[in-house]
Each structure stands twice: as C-alpha cells, then as structure tokens.
A = this chain, B = another copy of it.
Amino acid sequence: MSEIWIDRHRERLDAAVAASAARTYFSAFEASPSPGPSGAAARRTGTAAFRSWLDEEFPLATPGADGTVATERSPFGFDLRVRYPRVTDIETLLAPRRGARAWRDAGPDGRVGVCMQILDRLYDRGFEIASAVRHTSGQPFGVAFSSSVANTLDRSLEALAWSWQAQSRVAPTAVWTRPGDGGGGMEKTYTVIPRGTSLVIGSDVFPTWNAWPALFASLAAGNRVVVQPHPSAVLPLAITVQVCQEVLAEAGFDVGLVTLAVGDHADHLHEQLAVRPEVRIIDFTGSASFCNWLEERAGQAVLFTDSPGVNSVILDSTDDFGALCGHLARSLALCTGQMSTAPQNLLVPRDGIETDEGLKSPREVADGLAAAFDRLLSDDESAVEILGALASPAVLEFVESASKEGEVLIASRRVTHPMYADAEVHTPVLVGLQAVDADVYSGENLGAVCYLVETADTEESIALFYLMASRHGAVSASVYSTSPAVVDEVRDVALDVGVALSENLLDQVYVNTVSAFSDFYGAGASPASGATFLDAAFVAPRFRIAQSRRPV
C-alpha cells in the first residue's frame, strides 16, 4: 500500500534529492497564483473556504481536549471566532499511539510517499491557507500564497528530500563475513526507528514557514507529531493537521500520528508541553528569550530553535544609487519588515558612500530611500498588497517607542485599507542612529522599524556586522560595494559568523528572498540558534537505525 504513494511521487523525489545537493534552481510548487479566469476562480473558492471556518467549530478531534477555545483576531480588524479543541489533559494528548509501529514499518519510502501526497493536498488548498495566514499574521495575500504556501511547500519537499536521502543511505540488510572466521558470517537487518514524540511550536508571524518543514522532517522519520500553534495563528496549522489526518487515513495509518494542540494565550501550552519527558524533539522559531528558555529547561529533547537576530546591510559604494534605493525600499516594505530576513540596520559611513551620482551622505541615502518609499507606497491600494498589516498591537507600540530613540528620517504613516477600515496597515519607520547606540539597534526587532546607523567608516560597519551577528545571530546580511576587497572582507566575516550574505543585489532577488533547494535559511552560528537550516543536521537527529543480527 505504501509503495503506491512513493511510486506516484518518485520522479519528483529524485529530482528534489538531486536539487538539494546541486543547489541550482528547482521548484515543485508554482509560486504565482495562475492568472486568468481559472486562477481568479480558484482564489475565490479558496477565500470562501477560509470564510466558511469563521464563527465555526473546527472539525478536528484532539486526544486530551475538553471544550473549545477561540483565540484569533485578524490584523485586518475582526475576530476569527474559529473554535478549536482545547487541550486540558496533556497525559492523554501524549499517550503512546497504537499506530506507531505500522508507521515505522512503512519504511522511508512509504512515509515519504505519504508526506509528499500531503504536500500536494496542501497545495490544492493553497488559497484557503493563504487567506488563513493573511488573517492571522497580516501578510499580504500574494506573499501569503507565494511565501507561506508555495515556497514553504518547496522547503518542506526539500526537508523530505534530505530526510529520505539520510534514511535511505544505510542498506536495509547486509551479510557480514569476516575474513579468516570460516563459517557463514552474520546476516544483519537495519531499521529506521523514530526518536520519539516531536513537538512543533508555531509562530504568530510566519505560522507555516518553519512549522511545515519541521512537521514533515519529523513525520517522515517515523515520529508522531504534536503541532502546537501560536494562539494568534491557529487556523493555518489546523488546516494543515486536517490535511495530514485525511491523507494518513486514506493510506491506512493512524490519524493520531499528527495532532493539533491548542490552548488559550494564558495556558502557555507550549511551555507545558516542552518539558514533558515524552517530547524528544522540539522545533521553534521566534524570540531569543524562548530559545534560551528551551535550552535551559528542555534538555530531554533535541532542539531545533532559531531566533532571527539582527540583520545588517553594509553600504560602502555602488554604481547604481537609484536602483539600490528602490531595491532596499522594497526589502524594507515587504510585510512591513516583519519577515525575519528583513534588514534591521543600514550601516552607512558618516562621510557617505561613493555612487554613480557622486558621494551620498547618510542623510542623502535616507532621502533616496524616502523617495523610493514614496514611489512604492504612496498609493494606498497597492501599498497594502506590499505591506500587509501589523501582526500584533505590539508592533505598533514598537514603532512608536523606536521613533523616540533617534532622529526619524522617514516617518511611519498609517495606510487606509480599501476594504478593511480597522486594518492596522502602516509604512515602516527609518530611524537615524550613531554607532554608539548599540543598545537600541541590537535589540529584538518586531518589524516596521529600520535603523540607519552612521559609522566612522566601512571598517567600523564591518566590525558592527560582526559584533551583531556573533552576539545575536542574523538571518540575512547584505553588502553594497564596488570594491572587490571590501566584498571579500565582508564575505570572510560572514563565514566567521555563519550568516548568509547577499552581495550587490539590485534585481528581482531581494535580501529577503529564500529560494528552496538553493539558499540555506537560518540564523547561522549564532549562540541563540540551534538549527532550522534544511540540511543533514535538520533531519538526521530525528531518527536512528536499529539493528539485529544472526548467524547465517
């Protein structure tokens, strides 16, 4: 039975395995919603499917749940009022599953085949999920579809490719004969076995981004998975678990291998679950403080944690100042800078940067960005499709407090949403700081705030990049320089701190862009960061190989 599933997906799997090593372009899930009437109809159907959940009880059974809880409010200004089973009995939630052996015995091929089938089903419901992400996390619909659905499915497929490759490396059986022993030697059997219960803790801002690859990496390795969404962003993961359970049931496996565990904000369910001895794997991406909490309390589990850190842009020189400003402005505006890859600190030498338009002082760089912002965001209707909405009231408070820390070079402006009067849509603020203000620009960034930091020179800019990334980690870094020596130096520092570096980007690829199968995403070698890289380290600790041996 399991073989049916892998056979259906074999060709795509082989291509994905090859791509994960070659790192050239590969994608299995089209990121642009298809244009024309059929695309528009699919989008309408998906939006309607999302709307049908509002004010309803979500049809999922969770062991250990009693009653329901509704915790979500759209950043576009309304409560979702979807009711989910509320977990009250953790013992029952985590009780061993009878179906675990059958899932183990399905083997890498069977499990990966079923997981790939789930990916296809999630894509089928992509517009519905994108609407859910939009209304829990404030992403513009286009970003929600391309990034939180299509690209995240590609990254999930990449996780499956890495996992399948790692699980399949060891032969299932072998005959071992030692020279000189005489006799027949030993017959040996090798079986991939799961590590244990996997806990996936969801994020409010990007609910699927890390949760999906983690879920599939754990499930494909034979583990049962407890999905614990952030109370502010449950629906995308509730739909995910529903799809997982549907496909598991169709394939003849225990639906309880993937469960949804929801609590009220005050329940702190993630903390309760994280310290349980049954939980042997934890995935979490978000605040550095909770990453540290997990390191201190959840030693029983292998941790895949990641905190965005502090992203730097080193501005040294450019031969296209206009393109640079337009490019950076879009990076900052996308999702109002709430993406973990968004730049936080623009490091500009106080004497200015050499450009094709002459030397540009920090003030002139800010002016150039302001003009680019105007071009990009002055029309409210198109601005909302770039900015999205602020994921939580805390972001707006952060904008207000950050604005007081320095000179406001570009003020934040409230944007009126054409459809949602109460939507919290704002443009990002650009705040001018000096190199000495590290206590401000090294802090956790909730989004919508960017700092332009004046440095003594490019050497100091590079030193600050090193300092920020080595102390706090970073998900992205960027350098603009016409000097190969400067680029080389920044590249060496980026290797020291383990941060992905983008050099002189001016075109369609933004510093925020993470291409599945090619770019490695994660906060690198930072102290607050375990591993959310999709690589061997992300998949291998989730399983083990057990052997038996007997004389031939």
Q: Measured between C-beta atoms, what is the minimum distance from A371 to chain B in Å?
A: 23
A500 vs B191: C-alpha distance when bound (angstroms): 10
Given contacts A525-B196, A549-B519, contact A24 B175 (CB under 8 A): yes
Q: Nearest residue in B to A169 (C-beta to C-beta)?
A: B21
Copies in the complex: 2
With beta carbons under 8 angstroms apart, the residue of B190, B531, B548 that contacts A544 is: B531
| Closest Cβ–Cβ distance, residue A550 to chain B (whole Å) | 4
Say whether A432 faces chain B, with CB atoms less than 8 Å apart: no
- Top 8 nearest A-B pairs (CB, nearest first) are A295-B299, A536-B540, A503-B550, A23-B174, A537-B540, A501-B548, A537-B541, A540-B540
On whether A24 and B174 interact (CB within 8 A), knowing A295-B300, A495-B191, A507-B551, the answer reads yes
| Contact B540 A535, beta carbon cutoff 8 Å | yes
Q: With A519-B549, A540-B537 known to touch, is A176 a contact of B25 (CB < 8 Å)?
A: yes
A-B contact sample (10 more), CB < 8 A, given A295-B300, A499-B546, A537-B541: A166-B536, A181-B507, A294-B299, A299-B303, A494-B548, A500-B546, A501-B546, A502-B548, A520-B545, A536-B536
Q: Are B295 and A494 in contact (CB under 8 A)?
A: no
In the complex formed, the residue of B with least CB distance to A189 is: B491
Residues B169 and A536 in contact, CB atoms below 8 Å apart: yes
Contact of A491 among B177, B302, B508, B548 (CB under 8 A): B548
Q: Does A193 contact B (CB under 8 A)?
A: yes
Interface residue tally on A, bucketed by range: 35 or more
A121 within 8 A of B: no
A464 to B504, CA, bound (A): 64
Chain B residues positioned under 8 Å from A299 (CB to CB): 294-296, 299, 303
| Interface bits A489-526 vs B (CB < 8 Å: 1, else 0) | 00110111011111111111100000100111010110
A535 x B525 contact (CB < 8 A): no
Question: Of B21, B101, B181, B515, which one neighbours A170 at CB under 8 angstroms?
Answer: B21
A104 interface residue (CB < 8 Å to B): yes
Q: Any chain B CB within 8 A of the CB of A527? A: yes
The chain B residue sitting closest to A536, CB to CB, is: B540
Interface residue from B491, B506, B535, B547 paired with A520 (Cβ < 8 Å):
B547
Can you list 14 A-B pairs, Cβ within 8 angstroms, ordered by A?
A21-B169, A22-B171, A24-B174, A188-B519, A500-B549, A503-B551, A509-B551, A519-B549, A520-B544, A520-B545, A520-B547, A525-B544, A536-B539, A537-B544
Q: Give the distance in Å from the alpha carbon of A55 to the alpha carbon of B186 in the complex.
A: 47
In the complex, whether A441 has a CB less than 8 A from a CB of chain B is no
Q: How far is the CA of A541 from the CA of B533 in the complex (A)?
A: 11
Q: How near does chain B come to A323, taking the closest CB pair, in angstroms?
A: 11
Residue of B101, B193, B300, B519 touching A498 (CB-CB under 8 A): B193
Within 8 Å CB of A303, what residues of B?
299
Question: With the chains together, A544 CA to B537 CA distance in Å?
Answer: 8
Contact A183:B536 (CB < 8 A) given known A174-B24, A525-B195, A541-B531? no
Query: In the complex, which residue of chain B has the Cβ closest to the Cβ of A168?
Result: B21
Q: How far is the CA of A190 from the CA of B487 in the complex (A)?
A: 16
**Assuming the A-B contacts A498-B546, A537-B541, A546-B500, are A21 and B295 also in contact, with contact meaning beta carbons closer than 8 angstroms in the complex?**
no
Q: How close is A221's CB to chain B, nearest CB, in angstroms? A: 10
Query: Within 8 Å of chain B (Cβ to Cβ): is A98?
Result: no
A447-B480 Cα distance, complex, nearest whole Å? 64
Q: Complex Cα distance A56/B519, Å?
A: 54
- Contact B531 A21, beta carbon cutoff 8 Å: no
A178 at the interface (CB under 8 A from B): yes
Query: Smallest distance from the beta carbon of A435 to chain B beta carbons, Å?
Result: 23
Q: Does the CB pair A495–B104 fall under 8 Å? A: yes
- Cα A209 to Cα B535 with chains together (Å): 28
A 155-189 to B, binary, CB cutoff 8 A, 1 in contact else 0: 00000000000100111001111110101011011
The answer to whether B23 and A549 touch across the interface, beta carbons within 8 angstroms, is: no
Q: Are A181 and B508 neighbours in the complex by a CB distance under 8 Å?
A: yes
A516–B493 alpha-carbon span in the complex (Å): 39
**Chain B residues, CB < 8 A from A188:** 23, 518-519
Q: How far is the CA of A531 from the CA of B508 in the complex (A)?
A: 43
CA distance A360 to B115 in the complex (A): 51
Nearest to A535 among chain B residues (CB) is B545
Residue among B176, B302, B492 making CB contact with A23, cutoff 8 Å:
B176
Q: Which chain B positions have C-beta within 8 A of A551?
A: 503-507, 509
| Chain A stretch 75-95: residues in CB contact (< 8 A) with chain B | none
Taking A25-B176, A190-B23, A295-B299 as contacts, is the C-beta distance between A533 and B525 under 8 angstroms? no
Set B196, B300, B501: member contacting A547, Cβ < 8 A: B501
A277 at the interface (CB under 8 A from B): yes
Query: Closest CB of chain B to A492's CB: distance in Å?
Result: 7
Question: Measured between alpha carbons, how far is A503 from B191 in the docked complex, in Å?
Answer: 16
Report A273 CB to chain B, min CB distance, Å.
Answer: 17
